[in-house]
Amino acid sequence: MASGECEIAVTNSYYLARLMRSTKPEDVAVVNKVGVVFPNQQSWGTHMNIAGGAVARHAKNQANAIKFLEYLASPEAQNYFANGNNEWPAAKGLSIDNPALKAMTQGQPFKSETIPISAVGANITKVQQMLDRVGFQ
């Protein structure tokens, strides 16, 4: 986009946030040429990558595994991910300190879609078939 090869691109926001937080002149130049639009912020929200964690049924240390997952969902860990990897928090209602993420939404809260994971899983084959039909790789 910054080189003028296209007018619109779809990307994961953390790539742009990395550029926004860079002090390299070439990165600053790119950031100054592009804008950010998150779709559906007034309606159902923007798609987010799906990540999850679980504890295996026969895990030798289930109690500590559960504590670790609880920590990952905590405000402290979510802010760590937001600042360290430019990821939006997975837990709802958390305030983040990342200046690039805040700039992308002009300081407004980011609204992620709320499609149940079961619906995503039930439709994954159909989605892949559509992507195959249009040649998306």
Among 14, 26, 37, 3, CA closest to 84: 14
**Cα distances (angstroms) measured from residue 58 to each of 61, 62, 63, 65, 71:** 9, 8, 12, 11, 21
On the question of pLDDT at 30 being above 80, the answer is: yes
Check residue 89 and give its pLDDT: 87
CB under 8 Å to 26, separation ≥6 — which residues? none
Q: What mean pLDDT do residues 111-118 have?
A: 87
The pTM for the full model equals: 0.76
CB under 8 Å to 66, separation ≥6 — which residues? 55
List, for residues 47-59, the tens digit of each pLDDT value.
888 778 999 999 9
On the question of pLDDT at 85 being above 80, the answer is: yes
**Band (130; pLDDT cuts 50, 70, 90):** very high
